[in-house]
A and B are shown apart, each in its own frame.
Chain A
Amino acid sequence: MPVPWEALIPFGLVTAMFGVTGTAFNIARRVSNDGKPPRYGLDEWDEMMMERDQRITGSLRGQKSDPTPPENFATNSTWYTKRSI
């Protein structure tokens, strides 16, 4: 008896749909994380360091290994100018 290939079409469709949406979601997450996998399990320390990275490089996931800071690093903390009410 020949193989019932029509019965396998739904499996193929479902696999393709999961694959497409999963890949699209992964790409969306990477685009918002500068092409890297997203960070997870973040505590206050990690969030503080990511904010510091943003003050240095302009992006939460930007990294640079040069120890010379940019010009305005000494004063660009928004601690004093954030809305407190």
Chain B
Amino acid sequence: MATWTKNDASVAPYVDPTPLPPSIPSVEEVGTTSAPLKSAAFFIGAYCKDFNEDFMLCKAENRNPEHCLKEGRKVTRCATDIITKLRENCLAEFDKHWQCLENNNQQYYMCRKPERALNKCVFEKLGLVKAIPGSPQGQPQIHEKTSPIFGAMQK
């Protein structure tokens, strides 16, 4: 099923009765939780664009999980790679930004200051730029606006 349902208390400890065959290479899942992932989201998008697009096009052909295992492994490896690079180079700014997000209901507009510091560090060290797809062409992006309408302090 593709829909998500809230989990109830488990009635038995879970032992995987049908583990994947050894012919399929096993890749560790991304163990990062929601706030750091949200903070790194646009950098994952910029760094892993090709793998992500490959995976989505593959899924568009056929929703069977078996069809897209290989592309999925590439996506997981790429995401783990960029998060590791982000932590190696910009750990302080990254930690500050996602901790700010955690204290503000994970809303980007409340945490522009740490975000600016993180974007600057990532651009210098890794060369990645946060670009929001679908934002209007002529104007500065919302995270680059100097005086946005909606900010932390109500006007």
Contacts and interface: CB of A to CB of B under 8 A. Distances in A.
Nearest to A62: B33
Interface stretch (B95-103, B113-121, B142-150): B95-103
Interface of B: 4, 6-16, 28-36, 79-80, 83-84, 87, 94-95, 98-99, 102-106
Contacts of B79: 67
B105 A41 contact: yes
A81 B105 contact: no
Interface centre among A41, A47, A68 (most CB of B within 10 A): A68
A65 B94 contact: yes
Interface of A: 36-37, 39-41, 44, 46-53, 56-57, 61-70, 73-83
B7 A78 contact: yes
A74 B11 contact: no
B102 A78 contact: no
Contact of B102 (A49, A63, A73, A80): A63
A81 B31 contact: no
Nearest to B16: A75
Given A65-B94, A73-B29, A37 B103 contact: yes
B14 A64 contact: no
A66 B84 CA distance: 8
B29 A69 contact: yes
Contacts of B84: 67
28 contacts: A36-B103, A37-B105, A39-B105, A39-B106, A41-B105, A47-B6, A49-B33, A50-B34, A51-B6, A51-B7, A52-B34, A53-B33, A56-B31, A57-B33, A63-B36, A65-B83, A65-B94, A65-B98, A67-B83, A67-B84, A68-B28, A69-B28, A75-B14, A75-B15, A78-B9, A78-B10, A81-B14, A82-B7
Report the 9 A-B pairs with minimum CB-CB distance, sorted nearest first. Answer: A69-B31, A65-B36, A78-B10, A49-B34, A81-B10, A53-B33, A67-B83, A82-B8, A78-B7
